[in-house]
Amino acid sequence: MVLTIGIDIGSISTKGVLLNGDIIIAKELTKSGANPKVIAEDLIYRLIEHDGISKKDIGYILATGYGRLSADFADKTITEITCHAKGAFALNRDIRTVIDIGGQDSKVIKVDEFGNVVDFEMNDKCAAGSGRFLEVMAGALEIDLHEMGKISLKSNNPSSISAMCTVFAESEVISLLAKGEKVEDIVAGIHDSITKRILGMVRRLKLEKAVIFCGGVAKNDGMVYSLKKVLKTDLFVPDNPQFAGAYGAAILAREFYNNGKS
């Protein structure tokens, strides 16, 4: 079996997966920082600190994500659309639609029965509908970002957040607080506002089941609830949804290595 590494260099976090054939040996995550190349190289060394593996044992390294072009040490770079689709499909081969909400963008990807990308929609022009949007809103509400999901699930009457721009939405949230609206209702409204943006992307692609929810925001239970409610469908959420892109990159690295050998 060949050892391969997939690195997903996102705007906020960098993820890495080490594969031995089909088996995940290790996975690591760290903040991307100001120098994504150095961060990614350090992540690789952290990945190979397992079972006496050295860098010369690695057959192929593939990089994806926002900062992939900085990874000049990689054997190949590929867009995150392809890698996220590949990783998501490997996690659940029944899926036909991938919803991925990351740090700075959100993606909806349709795949066929082989996991190939059929079509996609991507919001990468602003932070609205992303993890960064949630981070800004958590700051405005003075709550822990990681508690937002738990807080929103207490809501019985989500607030209406009409602004899609992060700056305007932050002002709207502050105004809602001043009016005395409950924090849990505001947080639920924030989640619903992201879901509305995702819904527009889904409608343009025409939702096809089954649906997987990936990316770091998929760890937010309130966001999962909001998507299920509005999309009126079950969602498959993997145990480590933020690693889907890196996992897909590692799988593609194995395929490129094997094709090169053959």
Which runs of E-coded beta strand occur in 114-166? 117-123
Residue spans of alpha helices (H) in 48-79: none
1-92+240-262 has CATH 3.40.640.10 classification: no
Do the domains 1-92+240-262 and 95-237 sit in the same CATH topology, yes or no?
A: yes
Q: Which of 197, 193, 185, 187 is nearest to 158 (CA)?
A: 185
Helices vs. strands in the chain: H and E counts, helices first: 8, 9
pLDDT in tens, 10-29: 988 999 999 999 999 999 99
Which pLDDT belongs to residue 116?
94
pTM given for the model: 0.92
Q: Domain boundaries in the chain? A: 1-92+240-262, 95-237
Which runs of E-coded beta strand occur in 124-230? 211-214
pLDDT in tens, 162-192: 877 778 888 999 999 999 999 999 999 999 9
Residue range 96-100: mean pLDDT, rounded? 97
Residue 125 scores a pLDDT above 70: no
Q: How far apart are CA 196 and CA 38, in angstroms?
A: 37
CATH superfamily of 95-237: ATPase, nucleotide binding domain (3.30.420.40)
Say if CB 108 and CB 233 are below 8 A apart: no
